[in-house]
């Protein structure tokens, strides 16, 4: 949010309760908006950004409300201490529920959240010590340094202070090292794992964080209402919270406030005005409300916040939309891995095999790559090159065989564990987080090079580490020629630029072994020349590079060693000149040779794009990504 707008909003929030002209009803309404916004803020992170749909947040509101109601009324514990107990219980319950539920995917995940939401709801209503369906009454008001917060005009300040603090902390989290991992959950989870991000842990983190915010909202609700009962913590309220998150939009943390304000404000006003308009006592507000929401979602699919932000930017002449254009400030260099000595065996692939049912995609292939060497893995389309890449990087498990990196067995390891050893990669089909900036996408590649916890990110005490990560990302982008696009959204780049972005991201991981899957695809001639210079420099620095590429001119000029594959089998191996003259290779690429054929024509056969395959090869059906 623009700073001027933020100051204006905070000023209005502070002044409102002091104005006698503002009815108590509106202060009460703002209190409910504030408490709902806390729940929706967690859902915005969990569902809007993380892509994990949950219908059960109302149950966590109930845990916060019932904990403080029971402990303060039955045991006489201070309400401020009950907040700590409620958060502790929520941490335990949400971690257990999340560890079980988040293993589900697709439509099973929301169904799972409905199941445990209903279980907790009926638990609240059937436990005798919680008052069953009658609930608990006589909850004490909060007392802050001798000031009673029993009045709505006083507890208002506490509610909105907590909400503003939560908005600030969540904003900090999203723009940090953990935040980049969280923002990659929806569209790049597999990619992020290849750079060492433990996505299962981050799923649980945002699930627990959203639950804690809902718990705090329930604690506030109990002391505002002075009584609790099961009804506000049922599935219907869970659906309503989710609806608020969708309507508000995930483009900013302020979408939580906008969504809560719209839903609660519309419901109240429709109940007031529709009976007068239609001159009837029939309950038609839900019908009209549903139609209005369909209209809103139809024309603002990303939520209402982007529209509000756009209007504000228009009124301020675009000042609110001004993006950073200068590179990040200079920072200390990140530590770099030691490079193995020249000719050290870096990668050793022995009889690697991958079967998809009855189809053999990689057929007992073997080769070795040494330090300071660029090896090309080439072959017609469907030869099994990308599948071999995926076996090396742990994306696919090998059916049999061994893959070793600097003496460590890679087969059987997860992708993130292989990344920790010093293996970086790009992908055959570009995998980026399109809504993140170019520099943030590259900084995601350096995830393992700094350890920043969630609490440090929330409190914004990670500024030094964050500066170092962003500085490293900017350097790698400059290296591949994208220094002018640091703050552009990655999804706005052309395909060739996105491939260069992937290479910069892989370099940010400081790998010992770099695997590049068709790095020159989509690049112009000058860009290919520049890329070749970068790769040559990396080789001279001691990095080992294995690349898959169809541009034979690019491959022949750059590589020290070639492995040719066809139908998953190693067809030939050697230096580029030897491979160019191999009859089996010529047969695979050109369907045979004639007496006038020059071996150098192999490079020209595929220099403009993909390798030419024989009709038999073209008819071969392989799984996606092979």
Tell which residue, 242, 238, 245, has the closest CA to residue 121: 238
Sign of torsion over alpha carbons 318, 320, 321, 323: positive
Q: Is the pLDDT of residue 56 over 50?
A: yes
The answer to which of 153-162, 245-254, 316-325, 577-586 has the lowest mean pLDDT is 316-325
Domains in the chain: boundaries: 24-256, 345-422+511-618, 436-508
Strand partners, 409: 404
Tell which residue, 170, 190, 181, has the closest CA to residue 105: 190
Distance CA 94, CA 56 (A): 11
Residue 290 · residue 234 · CB < 8 Å? no
Distance CA 380, CA 264 (A): 60
- What pLDDT score does 412 carry? 85
The answer to which of 41-45, 159-163, 336-340, 505-509 has the lowest mean pLDDT is 336-340
% of residues, the chain, pLDDT over 90: 62
Owner of token pair 């580490």:
465
CATH number (3.10.129.10, 3.40.50.300, 3.30.1300.10, 3.40.50.11540) of 345-422+511-618 reads 3.40.50.300
- What pLDDT score does 623 carry? 38
For the beta carbon of residue 283, count every other beta carbon within 10 angstroms: 10
The answer to which of 183-187, 219-223, 512-516 has the lowest mean pLDDT is 183-187
User: For 491-501, what is each residue's pLDDT tens digit?
Assistant: 999 999 999 99
- What pLDDT score does 319 carry? 54
- What pLDDT score does 448 carry? 93
Residue 62 · residue 218 · CB < 8 Å? yes
Q: Is the pLDDT of residue 471 over 90?
A: yes
Dihedral Cα 98, 394, 436, 204, nearest 10 deg: 10
Q: How far is CA 229 from CA 86, 121, 267, in A?
A: 17, 10, 22
Question: pTM of whole model > 0.85?
Answer: yes
User: For 302-332, what is each residue's pLDDT tens digit?
Assistant: 888 888 777 777 776 655 545 666 788 888 8
CB neighbours of 15 closer than 8 A, spacing ≥ 6?
Answer: none
For the beta carbon of residue 202, count every other beta carbon within 10 angstroms: 21
The answer to which of 69-73, 397-401, 522-526 has the lowest mean pLDDT is 522-526
Residue of 622 and 429 predicted with greater confidence: 429
Owner of token pair 């995998």:
431
Residue of 563 and 271 predicted with greater confidence: 563
Residue 51 · residue 185 · CB < 8 Å? yes
- What pLDDT score does 610 carry? 37
For the beta carbon of residue 329, count every other beta carbon within 10 angstroms: 9
Beta strands in 472-511 (DSSP E): none
Q: Which conformational region is residue 22 in: left (phi greater than 0), alpha (psi within -120 to 50 degrees), or beta?
A: beta
User: For 20-30, what is each residue's pLDDT tens digit?
Assistant: 888 888 999 99
Name the pLDDT band for 588 (thresholds 50, 70, 90): confident
Distance CA 557, CA 577 (A): 10
Length of the chain: 626
Q: Is the pLDDT of residue 250 over 60?
A: yes
- DSSP secondary structure, 367-426, as one string: EEEETT-EEEEE-STTSSHHHHHHHHTTSS--SEEEEEETTEE-TTS-HHHHHHHTEEE-
Distance CA 60, CA 224 (A): 17
- What pLDDT score does 616 carry? 35
Distance CA 584, CA 601 (A): 15
User: For 272-313, what is each residue's pLDDT tens digit?
Assistant: 777 777 766 667 777 777 787 788 777 777 888 888 777 777
SS3 at position 626 = coil
Residue 623 · residue 359 · CB < 8 Å? yes
Q: Is the pLDDT of residue 482 over 80?
A: yes
Q: How far is CA 195 from CA 188, 421, 545, in A?
A: 11, 11, 17
Q: What is the mean pLDDT of residues 260-264?
A: 92
The angle that helices 255-278 and 285-299 make with each other, rounded to 10 degrees, is 140
User: For 83-132, what is each residue's pLDDT tens digit?
Assistant: 999 999 999 999 999 999 999 888 899 999 999 999 999 999 999 999 99
Alpha helices in 175-254 (DSSP H): 177-183, 185-193, 199-225, 235-248
Distance CA 596, CA 541 (A): 41
Residue 386 · residue 625 · CB < 8 Å? yes
Tell which residue, 605, 583, 582, 604, has the closest CA to residue 592: 583
Residue 439 · residue 328 · CB < 8 Å? yes
Distance CA 390, CA 370 (A): 19
User: For 321-360, what is each residue's pLDDT tens digit?
Assistant: 456 667 888 888 999 998 898 889 999 999 999 999 889 9
Distance CA 502, CA 499 (A): 5
User: For 420-468, what is each residue's pLDDT tens digit?
Assistant: 999 999 998 899 999 999 999 999 999 999 999 999 999 999 999 999 9
Helix or strand (DSSP H, E) at 173: helix 152-174
Distance CA 402, CA 262 (A): 58
Q: Is the pLDDT of residue 624 over 60?
A: no
Name the pLDDT band for 187 (thresholds 50, 70, 90): confident
CB neighbours of 106 closer than 8 A, spacing ≥ 6?
Answer: none
% of residues, the chain, pLDDT over 70: 91
Q: Is the pLDDT of residue 377 over 70?
A: yes
Q: Is the pLDDT of residue 400 over 90?
A: yes
Name the pLDDT band for 252 (thresholds 50, 70, 90): confident
- What pLDDT score does 614 carry? 36
């Amino acid at each position: 949010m623009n700073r001027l707008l933020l100051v204006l909003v905070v000023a209005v929030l502070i002044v409102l309760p002091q104005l006698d002209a503002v009815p108590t009803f509106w202060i009460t309404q703002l209190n409910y908006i504030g408490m709902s916004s806390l729940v929706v803020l967690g859902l915005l992170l969990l569902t809007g950004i993380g892509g994990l749909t949950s219908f059960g947040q109302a149950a966590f509101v109930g845990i916060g409300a019932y904990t403080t109601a029971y402990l303060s009324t039955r045991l006489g514990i201070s309400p401020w201490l009950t907040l700590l107990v409620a958060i502790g219980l929520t941490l335990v319950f949400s971690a257990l529920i999340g560890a079980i539920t988040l293993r589900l995917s697709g439509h099973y995940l929301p169904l799972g959240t409905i199941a445990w939401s209903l279980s907790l709801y009926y638990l609240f209503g059937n436990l005798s010590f919680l008052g069953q369906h009658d609930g608990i009454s006589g909850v004490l008001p909060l007392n802050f340094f001798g000031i009673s917060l029993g009045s709505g005009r006083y507890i208002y300040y506490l509610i909105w202070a907590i909400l503003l603090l939560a908005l600030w902390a969540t904003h900090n989290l999203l723009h940090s090292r953990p935040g980049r991992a969280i923002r990659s959950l929806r569209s790049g989870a597999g990619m992020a794992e290849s750079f060492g991000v433990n996505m299962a842990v981050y799923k649980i983190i945002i699930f627990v964080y959203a639950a804690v915010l809902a718990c705090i909202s329930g604690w506030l609700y109990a002391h505002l209402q002075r009584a609790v009962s099961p009804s506000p913590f049922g599935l219907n309220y869970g659906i309503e919270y989710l609806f608020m998150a969708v309507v508000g939009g995930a483009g900013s943390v302020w979408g939580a406030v906008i969504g809560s304000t719209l839903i609660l404000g519309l419901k109240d006003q429709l109940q007031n005005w529709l009976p007068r308009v239609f001159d009837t006592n029939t309950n038609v507000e839900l019908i009209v409300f549903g139609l209005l929401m369909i209209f809103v979602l139809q024309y603002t699919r990303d939520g209402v916040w982007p529209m509000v932000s756009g209007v504000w930017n228009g009124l301020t002449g675009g000042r609110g939309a001004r993006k950073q254009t200068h590179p990040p400030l200079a920072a200390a260099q990140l530590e770099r891995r030691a490079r193995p000595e020249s000719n050290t065996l870096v990668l050793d692939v022995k009889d690697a095999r991958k079967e998809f049912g009855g189809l053999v995609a990689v057929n007992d292939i073997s080769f070795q790559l040494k330090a300071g060497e660029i090896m090309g893995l080439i072959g017609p389309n469907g030869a099994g090159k990308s599948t071999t890449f995926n076996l090396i990087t742990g994306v696919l498990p090998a059916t049999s065989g061994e893959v070793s990196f600097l003496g460590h067995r890679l087969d059987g390891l997860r992708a993130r564990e292989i990344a920790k050893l010093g293996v970086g990669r790009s992908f055959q089909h570009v995998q980026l987080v399109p809504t993140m900036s170019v520099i943030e996408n590259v900084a995601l590649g350096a995830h393992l090079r700094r350890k920043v916890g969630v609490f440090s990110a929330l409190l914004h005490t990670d500024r030094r580490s964050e500066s170092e990560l962003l500085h490293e990302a900017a350097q790698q982008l400059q290296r591949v020629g994208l220094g002018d696009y640091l703050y552009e959204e990655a999804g706005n780049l052309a395909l060739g630029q996105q491939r260069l972005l992937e290479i910069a991201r892989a370099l940010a991981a400081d790998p010992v072994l770099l695997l590049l899957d068709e790095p020159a695809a989509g690049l112009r001639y000058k860009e290919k020349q520049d890329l070749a210079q970068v790769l040559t420099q990396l080789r001279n620095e001691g990095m080992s590079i294995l690349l898959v590429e169809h541009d034979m001119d690019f491959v022949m000029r750059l590589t020290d060693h070639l492995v040719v594959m066809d139908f998953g089998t190693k067809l030939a191996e050697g230096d580029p000149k030897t491979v160019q003259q191999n009859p089996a290779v010529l047969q695979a690429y050109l369907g045979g040779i004639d007496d006038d054929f020059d071996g150098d024509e192999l490079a020209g056969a595929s220099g403009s794009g993909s390798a030419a395959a024989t009709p038999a090869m073209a008819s071969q059906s392989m799984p996606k990504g092979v």
